[in-house]
Structure 1
Amino acid sequence: MLIFWGGVVTVVVLLVRRARPGEGPAAQRPPHHDAERILTERFARGEIDEQEFTARRAALRRQE
C-alpha cells in the first residue's frame, strides 16, 4: 500500500512540474535576448543613437 501511494504522489509531482509554464531549463532564454532587451531600452531612452543601436544589435545576432 505504501508503494502505491508513493507512486501516486510521484506521478502527481511530475505532472505538476511539467504543467508549469515558464520554469525549468527549457524556459530559460539565451543570454543574447537579455542583451537585446537592454540595448532596445537604451535606444528608447535616447542613450544611444540609431547607428550605434543597429551596429550593436548586428554584433549580438552574429554571435548566435
Structure 2
Amino acid sequence: MFWYNDHGVSGWGWFGMSLGMVVFWGLIITAFMLLFRTLNRPPEDPGTSTPPPAPPASATPEQLLAERFARGEIDEEEYRRRLEVLRTGGPTLTKQ
C-alpha cells in the first residue's frame, strides 16, 4: 500500500496539517458569512443623500425656528427678527 514504509509524517507535519485545516475552515466560514451579510443587505440608492429628520408633528413655529437656529441655518439677527414677527402676529398679506 505504501511505497515507503518508514517515512511517515512527523509531529511537526501533524501540527502543520492541523493548523492548515483550522485556517481552511475558518476561511470557508468567513466567506459564507460575508456572502450572507452582503445578500441580506437592504438596497441603497447611491444618488440621494440622507434627508434631515422630520420635526415632530406637534412642533410649534417657534420650536421650528429655534431648531433652524441651532442647526446654523439662520444667524442670530434673522432668528430674533423672525421670532419677533411670530410673537407679534406678523405682517398681514392683503390683496391689492
When normalised by structure 1's length, the TM-score is 0.47
Larger Rg: 2
When normalised by structure 2's length, the TM-score is 0.31
Q: Which has the higher contact order (CA 8 A, sep 6+)?
A: 1
